[in-house]
Copies of this chain bind each other. A is one copy, B any other.
């Protein structure tokens, strides 16, 4: 993980929608970046941005996955909750199976208390109404009262995984907004953050024009006249 993800980059990313970031990755040839079947359950005071810390589940096996396993302090799910670094996002690979939970309100509360940046899973979550009240960024495959042991066997931490059909390597940067979650490969985070922030600025101008009656043809993308107006507009914008 040679490319540090600075606070500046994270701040830029917080200004960008997942939609805009997906366009930037698409321009770089990356098409499988937005998780499918993973939707927001709740959001925090600001958009979720953080590096991935992963937890991998395989299908459960009845003789291994009984309620006694949680007494083991090294059970990978419980260990993940206590070892994901603050500011990181805990990402779970549940093979897209949301028929059982990958966590519940107690574990999610602990993540929030620990200063973790968010939780993402393509499995289910139990206690989802309580979790929705936490004010903590959570993305999931759907409500699933059934405990994780019924379907999921936790195996390892911080290995490359798939989540929502997207490859997630530890340290990749995850961004979540009101639509979903995108995975930005770590080595691209900086340039994507800058280009996406610029795209956001331009689209802010475009939507203002459209609200005032401009047609999309010529404005989006902007042709010469619109670009000139954009340059003027930019000068009028507050710094930052």
A124-159 CB contact bits vs B (8 Å, 1 = yes)? 001111000000000000011111011001011001
| Contact (Cβ within 8 A) B217 A82 | yes
Looking at A39, A99, A162, which has the most chain B CB atoms within 10 Å of its CB?
A162
Chain A interface size, under 10 / 10 to 19 / 20 to 34 / 35 or more: 35 or more
| Contact (Cβ within 8 A) B59 A109 | no
Contact A179-B211, Cβ < 8 Å, known A61-B185, A63-B29, A127-B19: no
Q: A62 to chain B: closest CB distance in Å?
A: 5
Interface positions, chain A 25-42, Cβ under 8 Å from B, are: 26-34, 36, 39
Q: A153 to chain B: closest CB distance in Å?
A: 6
| Contact (Cβ within 8 A) B30 A210 | no
| Contact (Cβ within 8 A) A60 B32 | yes
Q: A208 to chain B: closest CB distance in Å?
A: 10
State the CA gap A218–B33 with chains docked (Å).
33
Chain B neighbourhood of A13, CB < 8 A: none
A123 within 8 A of B: no
Looking at A101, A146, A166, A221, which has the most chain B CB atoms within 10 Å of its CB?
A146
State the CA gap A13–B214 with chains docked (Å).
32
Q: A interface vs B, CB < 8 Å?
A: 17-19, 21-23, 26-34, 36, 39, 58-64, 67, 70-71, 73, 78-79, 81-82, 95-96, 99, 101, 104-107, 109-110, 113, 126-129, 143-147, 149-150, 153, 155-156, 159-162, 165-168, 177-180, 182, 185, 203, 206-207, 210-211, 213, 215-218, 220-221, 223
| Contact (Cβ within 8 A) A58 B147 | no
Chain B neighbourhood of A153, CB < 8 A: 160, 167
Contact A147-B203, Cβ < 8 Å, known A32-B60, A59-B167: no
State the CA gap A127–B155 with chains docked (Å).
34
Chain B neighbourhood of A81, CB < 8 A: 216
Looking at A36, A79, A210, which has the most chain B CB atoms within 10 Å of its CB?
A210
